[in-house]
Amino acid sequence: MAKASQKHGRIPPEGQPRPTEENGTVRSPQHDVERALAAAEFWTADAMEGAQPIPLPEVPAEVARALNKTAYSAGGAEPGLVRGAPPDGPEREDGESPTATTGGYDYPPPYTRFEVPQVLYGVFPWITVGKVFFKQYGTAYVASAASIGNYAIWTAGHVVHAGDGKVSGWSTDMVFVPAYRNGTAPYGKWSVSYMRARTLWYQKGNPDGLTEDMAGAVLHPLEGKKISQRVGSLGFAWNRGRLQHWNSLGYPQAAPFNGQTMHDCQASYAYDGSVSGIKPVAIGCDMTGGCSGGPWVWKLLIESALNGNNSYRQSNRPEEMNSPYFDDRAKALWDKLQADTP
């Protein structure tokens, strides 16, 4: 075990070629099967227990732009939807129109958070959500992610890359554990072949890249199956009006949470995010570090569509959560991840 840990604990050297940039996304170097297997072997129950929650990015209040309740429409872009697919189920497309785009709440916005009951961990769509364990600059971290189809999972940009524009900033030795609960991996530990992030996050990080703090990873098969065949996949919704209701799922681990169970923040659009660029979307939620990258599920149990991810909060607002607005930028990333193979 010590030998495997030393091997896959190396940080990629700065001299490696820069990743390929495609359609606003950037792809990490690829981990071969041998290294991927070593990563899965490294992440024992004790190693997973010892991983630190990746810090949830914060925007200092003094540099945050003034928040307002004015909702922004999808800009006339055509809305899109792919419904969620249970294990081995088909995906269906739908051209439903967006709902109203006005409304919102002042801080602190209303929300309901609860621990997901154990009985739901094996039920779609909760089964698609899990924890990701990885290293970033040598430190072992944990965050959240979800299966989105084919070989891919979706998470936050800061989970897969430090946002410093360096090849060495990519996370390494990442595994995905769907439906993790109290140290168990009921559907296995899925090793990552490579990761893909939005280029703006890769280059700019916090705060200038937060408007595109979204990413994904392509997983090696496990026991002859793709991750989407084993646990199903969330659908995908983009270019929707901002006045929506979501179930924000994740594994908060920083105090007062312990990271052992999945939590759900049910909340509606509150206001637009406090960073430059295409404004993120804020909801009420008090989840902490470890929830990063967890999915915002739109129309849970109806469409079960990914329509956001836990990204950041303003430093003086502990009861808010922001996600990038899912428009054509998010769709471009999703398309790449759907087409990628290990």
Predicted local confidence at residue 65, as pLDDT: 56
Instruction: Read off the amino acid at residue 229.
Output: Q
Do residues 200 and 95 lie in contact, with contact meaning Cβ atoms separated by under 8 Å? no
Do residues 112 and 267 lie in contact, with contact meaning Cβ atoms separated by under 8 Å? yes
143 Rama class: left (phi>0) / alpha (psi -120 to 50) / beta: beta
The C-alpha R_g of the chain, in whole angstroms, comes to: 18
Predicted local confidence at residue 90, as pLDDT: 58
Predicted local confidence at residue 33, as pLDDT: 81
End-to-end CA distance of the chain: 25
Q: Give me the domains of the chain, ranges plus CATH numbers.
A: 1-342 (2.40.10.120)
pTM of the complete model: 0.90
Per the listing, tokens 């084919």 go with 150
3-class DSSP state for residue 2?
helix
Taking alpha carbons only, the member of 277, 242, 270 closest to residue 72 is 242
**Cα 293 from Cα 312, distance rounded (Å):** 10
Alpha helices in the chain (DSSP H): 2-8, 33-42, 45-50, 157-160, 199-204, 227-231, 328-339
Do residues 309 and 287 lie in contact, with contact meaning Cβ atoms separated by under 8 Å? no
> CA 265 → CA 113, 199, 283, distances in Å?
4, 29, 9
From first to last of its 342 residues, the chain has per-residue pLDDT tens of 333 333 334 433 444 445 667 789 999 999 888 888 888 899 999 999 999 999 999 999 877 754 444 445 455 578 999 999 999 865 544 444 344 445 799 999 999 999 999 999 999 999 999 999 999 999 999 999 999 999 999 999 999 999 999 999 999 999 999 999 999 999 999 999 999 999 999 999 999 999 999 999 999 999 999 999 999 999 999 999 999 999 999 999 999 999 999 999 999 999 999 898 999 999 999 999 999 999 999 999 999 999 999 999 999 999 999 999 999 999 999 999 999 999
Burial class (CB in 10 A: 0-12, 13-18, 19+), 243: middle
